[in-house]
Amino acid sequence: MNNFWQRTISGIFIVVIIVAACWGGYYSGLALLSVIGVLGLDELLKMGEPEDRRDKLRWIGAFHSLIFLIGLWWKFETNWLPLLTIQLLISTIGCVLTFQENSFKELSKLFFGWLWIWLPLFLAKDLLEDFLLRFPMILLLVFVGLWTSDTGAYLVGKSMGKHKMIPHVSPNKTWEGTLGGALLASMLVGLFAHFFVHMDWIQGAALGALIAFFGTFGDLIQSVVKRSFGVKDSGHIIPGHGGILDRFDSFLLAIPAVWLALSLF
């Protein structure tokens, strides 16, 4: 099977899983977030590590993920931030005891994983809990914004993209493509919000533009991370697409923006 068909079949499979998880409600949404968190952190910790250090770091990451899953599935009456902080502190101590004077890179990964992966996923949990009744399908709205943004950016970038955004990080991204993606996401998310999310279409359109903007920079962050560790893909779990972080990098930065926007307005 050539790479085109491999990517196409895998892409359809991923979309079906995401739509089913988001359509299924609260617990299926949590299941999706759990998979992103556990596999995403594992991919981050493995990048750029020799095999002997990789295995030790993955054990620390497994503990990190266990506490994360407890916090994600347990309905707290109070804020979940203290739990995440305790998780980070204990994992940090374990990392220092394991790698001692050579632990700075691993510590950096743990802190970055906390900020880049865990925190957005807990904000996504808040979206599910706080906005599910007011705005059903809110999680799917984020994915619709990301997918339409990617499509618009590709079509406009291919046809009229001339000004590169950050060519040394992502050679194919252009400002024209980014604007085209934002416009398409704004229109289609506005329609999706009106018919499926019980949200005013203007508010949905604004969220679409917001998702497109931050999703683009989420993808750029992933490119920076991979270049820093000298890898092409974060993993190989999705045939033709790479790893979990390669597919959900935009989602991880778009979620905090959506959470903040809905919390404020």
The answer to whether the beta carbons of residues 31 and 235 sit under 8 Å apart is no
pLDDT at 133: 65
Q: CB neighbours of 215 closer than 8 A, spacing ≥ 6? A: 145, 146, 149, 150, 250, 251, 253, 254
Domain boundaries, the chain: 3-264
pLDDT at 2: 60
The answer to whether the beta carbons of residues 163 and 174 sit under 8 Å apart is yes
80: phi then psi, degrees, rounded to nearest 5:
-85, -5
Residue 196: which of 249, 137, 253 has the closest Cα?
137
pLDDT at 95: 80
Mean pLDDT by 10 residues, the chain (265 residues): 69 89 87 92 84 78 80 68 75 80 79 87 86 77 94 88 82 89 94 88 93 93 88 80 87 94 84
Alpha helices in the chain (DSSP H): 3-23, 26-46, 51-73, 81-99, 104-113, 119-131, 138-160, 175-196, 201-229, 244-264
- pTM of the full structure: 0.88
pLDDT at 191: 93
